[in-house]
Amino acid sequence: MAMKEDSNLELLIDQLADLIIKSKRIVVFTGAGVSTESGIPDFRSPDGIWTKYDPEDFTYQKFVSSKEARKKMYGMLEESGLMADTNPNPAHYAIAELEKMGKLDCVITQNVDGLHQKAGNSEDKVFQLHGNMVRAICLGCNKRYPLGDVINKVKQGVDDPGCEKCGGILKPDAVFFGETLPHRELNEATSRSAKCDLFIVIGSSLVVYPAAYMPTYAVNAGAKLVIINREPTHMDRASHIRIYEGAGETMLKVMERVRGSNT
């Protein structure tokens, strides 16, 4: 039985490599299943961050209105491991390689870690629907700071670090509960999803909206859909290829096949 399952996986990997080779405009959509393989904690898994903290404590409204809420946020960032120094994994590097090959139109990501850019994807090809935890932004003048620098100030005893330019509140540049998704990123993601010829979901259960609408836009426009995720999704039946495996190992094998076809 195991041999049959292994051979079936190899077949699916071959089929995905063939799709990539034939495609001209690929959109890759990534979720927490890519980040966790780099050691970044998940928010929504059975033992994720929201099982240890109350999401209601981290709304945009509370953060802006309460110094105590801001202290709690910085404490959570430190304790949860979200701010640990992490590196891209094989899935990130595979997606960056698709860009180098001229195959990738863009990456649409729910992740806030900046690892796609760290792996080599161009900033203008990565649409971070939920913002990022790499930098902080001043809510007064929009000046940006490395979030790690803000966290370090808190560690050094600065109670509520403010903007050096205008004194405004500094907020991690991720989308909080009660905050709208970034308008430009959402519009670009929607438009590009509807124009691709291949849409690859990697490491997302497609349960968070409006991000999870993206594969539907692609399928409705005639693109082929591939889903690589350990857990089922509501789009499985619409997929051309469905792989129930980890992100990094799968994409490593897929790109080996793609490279092999060019030699």
Give the residue numbers annotated as catalytic, written as ranges. 130
The distance in angstroms from the start CA to the end CA of the chain is: 34
Q: What is the secondary structure of 70-131 as a DSSP string?
A: HHHHHHHHHHHTTTS-----HHHHHHHHHHHTT-EEEEEE---S-HHHHHT--GGGEEETTE
Q: Which two tokens stand for residue 257?
A: 């096949």
Number of continuous H segments (helices) and E segments (strands) in the chain? 10, 9
d(CA 218, CA 161): 43
d(CA 44, CA 52): 11
Which residues, including other chains, have CB under 8 Å from residue 71's CB and lie 6 or more apart?
A: 154, 159, 160
Q: Give me Rg for the CA atoms of the chain.
A: 19
Which residues, including other chains, have CB under 8 Å from residue 67's CB and lie 6 or more apart?
A: 159, 160
Distances 210 to 116, 133, 171, 217 between C-alpha atoms, Å: 21, 20, 23, 11
